[in-house]
Amino acid sequence: MALSQEEIEHALDLFAPLGPLSTRKMFGGLSIYCDGIIFAIVMSDGRILLKGAGPMQTQFEDMGLERWAYTRKDGSATNMPYWHLPDTALDDAEEASALARQAFAHL
């Protein structure tokens, strides 16, 4: 399922306070970049995830955010370095951008 233009615009609006953003479509979803660095993705089902590295991984885990994982063909699980944006940030550009700024600082 591909993202709608409305879903794309919503995600970009959430992160607009970060400054100029660019995007790249991928696997029915979208990657979001600031200064040429990927910091978020929008899954094909509309879920928004932030990239976490270093101390942000611990912070996201402490916040109880769900980490993106998928199951390989051989049945093994693979954790990706992305966490679901908290529900409270899905309609709050200030909160979403603040989390993205923190995460971006560690990429």
What pLDDT, on the 0 to 100 scale, is given for residue 27? 81
Which range marks the domain in which residue 19 is found? Answer: 5-104
Tokens matching residue 47: 């879920």
1-43 per-position pLDDT tens digit:
678 899 999 999 999 999 999 999 988 899 999 999 999 999 9
How many C-beta atoms lie closer than 10 Å to residue 101's C-beta? 14
**Rounded CA separation 23/38 (Å):** 9
What pLDDT, on the 0 to 100 scale, is given for residue 1? 63
51-66 per-position pLDDT tens digit:
999 999 999 999 999 9
What's the average model confidence in pLDDT over 78-99? Answer: 95
What pLDDT, on the 0 to 100 scale, is given for residue 26? 87
What's the average model confidence in pLDDT over 74-93? Answer: 94
What is the CATH classification number for the domain harbouring 19? 3.30.1460.30
What pLDDT, on the 0 to 100 scale, is given for residue 93? 94
**Rounded CA separation 47/67 (Å):** 12
Number of domain units in the chain:
1
